[in-house]
Amino acid sequence: MKITTNLQWMEADFIEASKFFENTEDLEISHTHFEEATVVFDTVDVLGKCFEFSKDIGNVEGIEKKRYVKRYAKLALYKALSSVLGQKLIWGAMTGIRPVKYAYSLGKNWREEMAEEMLVDESKLDIVGRIIEEQKGIYELKNDNCDFFVSIPFCPSRCLYCSFLSNEIGKEKQLDGYIDALVKEIENAKPLIKNLRSVYVGGGTPVSLPLHLLEKVLKAIGKVDCEYTVEAGRPDVIERETLQLLQKYGVTRICVNPQTFNDKTLKIIGRKHTAEDIYKKFELAKEFGFSVNMDLIAGLTGESFDDFKYSIDKAVELNPDNITVHTLSLKKGSKLKETTERLAEGEISKMIDYSVYKLINNGYNPYYMYRQKYMAGNLENTGYTKKGKACIYNIDVMEEISDNLACGANAVTKKLILSENRIERYGAPKDIKTYIEKVDKIIEEKNKFFLDNTL
């Protein structure tokens, strides 16, 4: 597909908006945008047909105007392609990764606007509506609200599909150096926090750390009086002693992630644990009274609809507080990217539809959602919760309604400038050696960044 446009800055958005249409390889599309007074005009030529659209966007300026121009140009392209190819996309012309944040930004008519202006399917609007309902009482936009993230980018081994930063713990020579640098960063970050909403120790697989190093991190974080998650992660490294330690330091929520309950798939994706381990470690976690989340992935290598259905059914039987359903995303950096073709998109969408049906009918409500690039079938990741058990951290991060103070390699600190409706970011280096060497500079720069960007 080739797209020419006089809005050159829109090229990437156009590619994003059209990539989920089928049979577009040989298409040549030409787009022209012009404006008269407060009206924007978009003309799209494709396969010898010319489509013309116009919209009065009113007297808007700057970033807001750019948003409207973008919205109606994308919509024009979507409508033209949809008409010529006879295809509809479930998310319509929406390309952003935060559909719920977008809905909030539209105000109380979000449903009509997303249906009419973005052509989003009713089934997805229903989920967005449920999420907004579930977030009531947690969703809060207030200066100085802050979530605290600690990055432990180590795992017992690398899973085939994963594109997160993760280093094999057994091969890491600088583990002690990393934890010392991290502890220093945590201690320097804590005084910056005014209103702590939640703590999240993620990765990677934090509990793959030797106990004495995990304890150093927990001790540095100290006692907190809010939701406190440790992404325990892989059942093969969750032990009684680890959970005892987490309990001692006040952790309230952990993740015990199956990804799938099929042993054959677990082997293929390199998870080094069995379905039996998942049951055992889940029971152990419940014995300690933790709130538990379980991650599942739709579209894993070799899995059919029935395999995925089996995993969803098993997760529901176990009845954890949260279940997060991911759609496989083949990003750069995963081993799978180079070796496998993804499943037929129709099959994955059937899986996601089943997860919605099964979870909602068994007392789970969706409470946050995000979309990713390179995601199979133009779908989404959705977190589900039992009543009153939603994870504050996930909501704050997905809706970007709170500062995020983040420590460790590859951690991104975010500061909300509420008065200007924008967000500033500070990212730490990915590489462990560089992170350790630069930690003093990172602390200094990040503290300045956090304190300078206020209101």
Ligand X SMILES: C[S@@+](CC[C@H](N)C(=O)[O-])C[C@H]1O[C@@H](n2cnc3c(N)ncnc32)[C@H](O)[C@@H]1O
Q: Which positions touch ligand SF4 (CB under 6 A)? A: 155, 158-159, 162, 164, 166, 203-205, 233-234
Which amino acid is present at 169? I
Asked whether position 259 contacts ligand X by CB under 6 A, the answer is yes
| CB-CB contact of 204 with 232 (8 Å) | no
Size of the site for ligand X (CB under 6 A): 20
Whole-number Å distance between alpha carbons of 449 and 437: 20
Question: Based on CB atoms, which residue is closest to ligand SF4, 95 or 329?
Answer: 329
Which listed range, 125-133, 142-150, 189-197, 326-334, lies at the site for ligand X (CB under 6 A)?
326-334
Q: Which does 439 bind (CB under 5 to 8 A by kind): ligand X, ligand SF4, none?
A: none
Q: Report, in Å, the least distance between residue 90 CB and ligand X.
A: 18
For residue 1, what are its two tokens? 């597909």
Helix (H, G, I), strand (E, B) or coil at 228: strand
| Bridge pairing between strands 195-203 and 227-233 | parallel
Contact string 410-429 vs ligand X (x = CB under 6 A)? --------------------
DSSP states along 52-114: EEEEE--S--HHHHHHHHHHHHHHHHHHHHHHHHT---TTTT---S-HHHHHHHHGGGHHHHH
Binders in 344-383 for ligand X, by CB under 6 A: none
Task: Specify whether the CB–CB gap between 14 and 31 falls below 8 A.
Answer: yes
CA distance 425 to 102: 20
Q: Which token pair is 421?
A: 């409706």
Q: How far is the CB of 163 from ligand SF4 (least distance, A)?
A: 8
CA angle at 405 for the pair 399 and 407, rounded to the nearest 5°: 125
Under the binding rule (CB under 6 A), the answer on residue 134 touching ligand X is: no
The option from ligand SF4, ligand X, none interacting with 158 (CB < 5 to 8 A, set by class) reads ligand SF4
Q: Residue 272 or residue 438: which is nearer to ligand X going by CB?
A: 272
> Other CB atoms closer than 10 Å to residue 314's CB: what's the count?
18
d(CA 220, CA 186): 6
User: Which does residue 449 bind out of ligand SF4, ligand X, none, counting CB within 5 to 8 angstroms by kind?
Assistant: none
Binding to ligand X in span 192-251, by CB under 6 A: 203-205, 231, 233-234
Q: How far is the CB of 301 from ligand X (least distance, A)?
A: 11
Q: Which of 291, 329, 349, 404 binds ligand X (CB under 6 A)?
A: 329
Q: Which of 84, 132, 162, 214 is close enough to bind ligand X by CB under 6 A?
A: 162
- Closer by beta carbon to ligand X, 203 or else 408: 203
Q: Which residues bind ligand X (CB under 6 A)?
A: 155, 161-164, 203-205, 231, 233-234, 257, 259, 295, 297, 326, 328-329, 331, 334
